[in-house]
Every structure is written in structure tokens, then in C-alpha cells.
Amino acid sequence: MAPQIQKRRRTGRHEEERDDQDNSRNRRQARRAPESNDASDASENDDEQDVDMSGPAGADGTSDDQLVKKLVRYALACEYARITIKRDVLGSQARSFRRVFDAAQEQLQKVFGMEMAELPAAMISPPSNCKLSLSELTDHGTPRNLEAVKRGASQASATSRQYILISSLPKEYRTQPVIGPSRVPSTAEEAAYIAFYTMVISIITLSSGELSDMKLRRYLTRLNASQNLPMDKTDHVLQKLIRQGYLDKVVERVEGDEDAVTWCVGPRGKVEVSPQSIAQVVTEVWGDLPDDFDTKLEKSLGVQRMGRPRAANQAEAEQEDE
């Protein structure tokens, strides 16, 4: 009988010790719970700040440092997806934009060899994919309320407030081994995509800045775009170029007839594909250059041919004459 009592007492003591251990463990977890909750809340706030980049402004400047880092990350992420960098991303810290922007610009230039360039403001012409009826146009084809449109454009579009990343590297480093096409989705596909929109932008720019849909399709047929584009169908690629701002499509509705479609260069296309780049493309594609090539190119683009300034041409001509 005694051994059973002793065993029961030993079991009860062990249960009391186990209860004490459980209670002490619960007390420790209760003390740690507020800290873990605070940490989780802080991480959630950090995630939100990565999106809107708004946070309490500190007098010691630490808040500005965090905003600069987040603006740099945001700019790189936007460029990866080919979307514009919007100025209102700072949210409640919009008043600090210029200070944060200048510091982020310095980091981008020093570390990544890139800089944020502002896109051109909206033009007075109808925006992308807009449609105008004949009743809204004058006999000359301009909007009847052109003056109101101009005033609204001057007030609302004094600045685009949107940016993209461009290379700030010196000319000698802007070569394919240094700034080659991205590996995502693949190097070949990215190179083909860049070559396609560069060629289309060059054709439109050399056509006085606009091109009808019929003429663009004719050029694409000559380029065998339907066979040479590895990423998607030609129409899908053109729609993608519109979304990313490389091209702009203006549709004018004509009653009783098909809509008149005109293609223009979009804001991203104007900044990313500069006249100097177009001059290089034309020079490479042309092959055997005529004598008046430089003159015509300068008249069309307002720039001299890259690597062959007019002074050099004149010096060579004088040597030949001698």
C-alpha cells in the first residue's frame, strides 16, 4: 500500500513541477508578445513605406536617408518593368521631393551609372487612342476649342512630373559589353525588342514625326516583322509599345468611313531614343553613304552624324582638292 501512495505523491509532484514550468513559459511568451507584435507592425509599416514611401520626417535627417534609398529602389524597379517613375510616390513627404530626388540622383549616378530624366509634357494634340468626331473639328482639322485646350495644357501639363532612368555613363562606356540587353526574359528576345522599337521610332521621326497606319504596316512588311519578332505578334508588340510610352496612337473618327490612325513617338521614346541614336541607326543601315548624307541627316534630325562631324568632312574635302 505504501509504495502506491509514494508513487502517487511522486506523480503529483511531477505534475505540479510541469504546471510551474508551463506557467513560467507562458509568462515569458506573454512578455515577448508585445515585442513580436511591435516587430510585425514595424515590418508591415516598412512594406507600406516601400509602396508609398511616406513616413515621419525626422529632424536628424535619418528619414530622408531612408526615403532616398527607397526612391532608388523604386526607380530601379520601375525601369525594370518599363513604367514611369511618378513624383507623387513620396505621398505625405511630397514637399521633400526635390531634396530626396537630388540625393537619389547622386546615388544612381555614382553607383549605377544612371540618372532620372523627366519625360516631356503632354502635347496639345489628342492623346493616345483618343477619338474625335467631325463635329469637334474645324474645316482645317483642328479642335474647335483649341484655345481652351491650349490653356488647359499649359496649366495642367507645365511639367509631366514623371521620369525614367537613362544611362549617364561616358560615351566610351556606352557599348554592348557594358550596357548590353537584359537577360530577362532572354538576351536575344530583349535585343530584338530594343531593335524593333528603335527602328520604328527612327522611321516615324524621319517621317516628320508622324506616320499613317497604312505606311507603318508597309514598313513592317518590308522588315518581315511578323517573322522576325520572336516575342509575340506584331499587333501585340505595338500595343505593348503604346503602354510603355514608346509610341503614341492617335485615332480620328471619320463618319461614314474608316477611322484615320496616325502613329507618333511617345514620351519614353523621345527620351530613350535620342536623335543621336537615330543618326547612328541610319548610318549603320544605310551602308554606302551619298555625298549629301550629312546635310540631309542634319536637316531631318538637327544633329550631325555621330563620329563624323562636318569639320572633318570639310578637312577631307580640302585635302582631296589639294
Sign of CA dihedral 296, 298, 301, 307: positive
pLDDT of residue 63: 79
> Which helix H or strand E contains 296, and what residues bound it?
helix 293-301
Task: Tell me, yes or no, whether 68 and 20 share the same domain.
Answer: no
Report the percent of the chain where pLDDT is more than 90: 41
User: Does residue 278 surpass a pLDDT of 80?
Assistant: yes
CB 204 within 8 A of CB 265: yes
Distance CA 167, CA 282 (A): 21
CB 199 within 8 A of CB 281: yes
Is residue 96 in some structural domain? yes
Helices within 53-114 (DSSP H only): 62-81, 97-107
Distance CA 205, CA 270 (A): 9
Task: Tell me, yes or no, whether 116 and 165 share the same domain.
Answer: yes
Task: Tell me, yes or no, whether 83 and 163 share the same domain.
Answer: yes
pLDDT of residue 125: 42
Task: Tell me, yes or no, whether 1 and 90 share the same domain.
Answer: no
User: Does residue 132 surpass a pLDDT of 50?
Assistant: no
Q: Which of 111-125, 168-182, 231-245 has the lowest mean pLDDT?
A: 111-125
Is residue 115 in some structural domain? yes
Angle made by CA atoms 290, 293, 299, in degrees to the nearest 5: 155
Question: What distance lies between CA 79 and its chain's CA centroid?
Answer: 4
Is residue 297 in some structural domain? no
Task: Tell me, yes or no, whether 98 and 23 share the same domain.
Answer: no
User: Does residue 205 surpass a pLDDT of 50?
Assistant: yes
CATH number at residue 105: 1.10.10.1200
Which positions ≥6 away from 275 have C-beta within 8 Å? 205, 301, 302, 303
Say which DSSP state 53 is in: -
Task: Tell me, yes or no, whether 111 and 164 share the same domain.
Answer: yes
pLDDT digits (tens, 9 = 90+) for 285-313: 888 888 888 888 888 888 765 545 444 44
CB 143 within 8 A of CB 125: no
Which positions ≥6 away from 187 have C-beta within 8 Å? 180, 181
Is residue 318 in some structural domain? no
Domain finish residue from 100, 134, 169: 169
Is residue 85 in some structural domain? yes
Is residue 150 in some structural domain? no
pLDDT of residue 158: 58
Task: For cell 550629312, name the residue.
Answer: 294
pLDDT of residue 19: 56
Average pLDDT for 4-31? 52
Task: Tell me, yes or no, whether 27 and 81 share the same domain.
Answer: no
Domain finish residue from 135, 169, 203: 169
Which positions ≥6 away from 311 have C-beta within 8 Å? none
Distance CA 16, CA 262 (A): 86
pTM: 0.68
Q: What is the DSSP string of 93-157?
A: GGGGHHHHHHHHHHHIIIIISEEEEEPPPPPSS--TT----GGGB-TTSSBTTHHHHHHHHHHH-
Task: Tell me, yes or no, whether 68 and 25 share the same domain.
Answer: no
User: Does residue 16 surpass a pLDDT of 70?
Assistant: no
pLDDT of residue 304: 65
Domain finish residue from 109, 144, 169: 169
Q: Which of 67-76, 127-136, 142-151 has the highest average model confidence (pLDDT)?
A: 67-76
Q: How many domains does the chain have?
A: 2
Residues in the chain: 322
Angle made by CA atoms 247, 259, 205, in degrees to the nearest 5: 30
Is residue 80 in some structural domain? yes
User: Does residue 50 surpass a pLDDT of 90?
Assistant: no
Say which DSSP state 61 is in: S
Task: Tell me, yes or no, whether 67 and 108 share the same domain.
Answer: yes
Is residue 102 in some structural domain? yes
User: Residue 11 belongs to what domain range?
Assistant: 1-32
pLDDT digits (tens, 9 = 90+) for 102-125: 999 999 999 999 999 999 986 534
CB 67 within 8 A of CB 90: yes
End-to-end CA distance of the chain: give it in Å, rounded.
132
